[in-house]
């Protein structure tokens, strides 16, 4: 899967996605991360990409022209490589978007190419958003200084669902949110640490009992920590 990030700070995105699992997935060719500097597409001779907002108000706005020309270059590269005329989805990361979750991550992981648009300053001229953006996504109800961290969060969550990125297929299945419940507690050696014992059932080798215990723990943890998720899980269960 190919991630394209349109940004004023390509080094920030590339730096954040070159280590650990996502970095290794790039080396192995499971995913590719392509950061494109919007500033390289400005027609302004001073390389300016922002200007004042019509109607007044605080701050500067990213202008339509550099964003559009940057998108056009990425769009053409994708179409040329794929040999078709279908534009890839463009995600504008913004606090005004639909809130990102695991279901959205699964949906996006099915795309071959995904383009992210990162805003700065007070935002981006609405007219170019209307022309290029297909999805408005927020990572939560708070405001960041720019879209880069949000794009990185989404890319991380999506990339780990791409086949081959995680070594162990099962770990993407049993983890928190995949089933609508939080994951159960886990333990490793030693058997006793700071006087705390690993729950006896996990040492029993009795798989059915272990599964039962884990489900109970997941349910209890979700009920306590995320009553909203618990309610939804129970509501869906009743319908089944």
Which listed range, 92-100, 128-136, 165-173, 212-220, lies at the site for ligand ADE (CB under 6 A)? Answer: 92-100
End-to-end CA distance of the chain: 35
Residue with Cβ nearer ligand ADE (66 or 123): 123
Residue with Cβ nearer ligand ADE (33 or 150): 150
Among 25, 62, 93, 114, the residue binding ligand ADE under the rule CB under 6 A is 93
Among 26, 94, 109, 222, the residue binding ligand ADE under the rule CB under 6 A is 94
Examine residue 126 and say whether the peptide bond preceding it is cis (omega within 30 degrees of 0).
no
Instruction: For residue 194, give both structure tokens.
Output: 């700071």
Report the largest interatomic distance among the alpha carbons of the chain, rounded to a whole angstrom. 71
- Based on the shown chain and the rule CB under 6 A, indicate whether residue 140 belongs to the binding site for ligand ADE: yes
Instruction: For residue 65, give both structure tokens.
Output: 């022209």
Name the 3-class secondary structure at 181: coil
Q: How far is the CB of 100 from ligand ADE (least distance, A)?
A: 8
Closest residue to ligand ADE in the complex (CB): 150
Residue with Cβ nearer ligand ADE (114 or 181): 114
Instruction: For residue 204, give both structure tokens.
Output: 């029993």
Residue with Cβ nearer ligand ADE (22 or 93): 93
Residue with Cβ nearer ligand ADE (95 or 180): 95
* 155, 21 contact by CB (below 8 A): no
Among 7, 26, 109, 138, the residue binding ligand ADE under the rule CB under 6 A is 138
- x/- binding map, residues 141-160, to ligand ADE, per CB under 6 A? -xxx--x--x----------
Q: Where are the alpha helices (DSSP H) in 99-206?
A: 102-108, 126-132, 148-159, 171-174
The Cα–Cα gap between 88 and 6 comes to: 13
The Cα–Cα gap between 60 and 137 comes to: 22
Residues of this chain that bind ligand ADE (CB under 6 A): 93-95, 138-140, 142-144, 147, 150
């Amino acid at each position: 899967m190919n991630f394209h990030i349109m940004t004023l700070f390509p080094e920030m995105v590339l730096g954040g996605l070159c280590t650990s699992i996502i970095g290794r997935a790039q080396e192995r060719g499971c995913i590719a991360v392509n950061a494109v500097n919007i500033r390289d597409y400005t027609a302004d001779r001073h390389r300016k990409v922002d200007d004042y907002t019509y109607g007044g108000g605080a701050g500067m706005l990213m202008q339509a022209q550099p964003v559009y020309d940057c998108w056009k270059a990425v769009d053409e590269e994708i179409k040329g490589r794929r040999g078709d005329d279908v534009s890839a989805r463009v995600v504008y990361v913004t606090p005004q978007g639909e809130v990102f979750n695991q279901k959205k991550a699964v949906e996006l992981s099915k795309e071959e190419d995904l383009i992210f648009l990162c805003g700065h300053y007070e935002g981006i001229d609405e007219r170019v958003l209307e022309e290029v953006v297909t999805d408005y996504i927020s990572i939560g109800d708070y405001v960041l200084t720019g879209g880069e961290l949000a794009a990185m969060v989404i890319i991380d969550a999506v990339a780990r669902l791409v086949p081959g990125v995680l070594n162990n297929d099962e770990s993407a299945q049993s983890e928190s949110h995949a089933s609508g419940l939080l994951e159960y507690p886990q333990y490793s050696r030693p058997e006793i640490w700071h006087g705390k014992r690993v729950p006896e059932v996990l040492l029993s080798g009795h798989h059915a009992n272990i599964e039962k215990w884990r489900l109970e723990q997941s349910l209890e943890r979700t009920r306590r920590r995320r009553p909203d998720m618990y309610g939804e899980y129970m509501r869906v269960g009743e319908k089944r």
